Amino acid sequence: MKNIKIKTFVLSFFAMILVTGLMSCKKDDAETPSKSSHKVVFKLVASAGSNISTVVYGYDGQVTTATSLSGTTWTSPEITAPAGTISLNIAAGATGANANSTLKAQIFVDGEMKAEGNSSGTVLSASASFGL
């Protein structure tokens, strides 16, 4: 039961981070959204012995959540962010093996890494955002 409460809290926390990221990535009126579509991949990389558990990722209002994950790496399916997309976001949680553990959240657009967020410690929470 305690494990379910922790997962619910972590998922809610990441959803909040993602929504906050979406709001903070809003462009000025002088800027325009992406004029073409883009191929996007989100990735997570944790240090040895760590365990990725949850990820929330997507673009604008199109959000996907994956829970009950395990392992030290995770890669999203390639998605097409349509023309007009404003921002890409990823937030993830993991458990580190020790105080030196790390978690990287990465955003790749058209094959090129555009944003990366890092976390370290035993409770890992990394996020990244990129405005198109």
Q: Which residue carries 């392992």 as its tokens?
A: 71
Does an H or E element contain 11, and which?
Answer: helix 2-24
**Domain of residue 27, residue span:** 2-131
| pLDDT tens-place string over residues 69-82 | 999 999 999 999 99
| Confidence (pTM) | 0.79
| pLDDT tens-place string over residues 87-131 | 999 999 999 999 999 999 999 999 999 999 999 999 999 999 999
Residue 87's Cβ-side half-sphere holds a number of Cα atoms within 13 Å equal to 21
Domain count, the chain: 1
| pLDDT tens-place string over residues 11-65 | 555 555 555 554 455 444 435 677 899 999 999 999 999 999 999 999 998 999 9
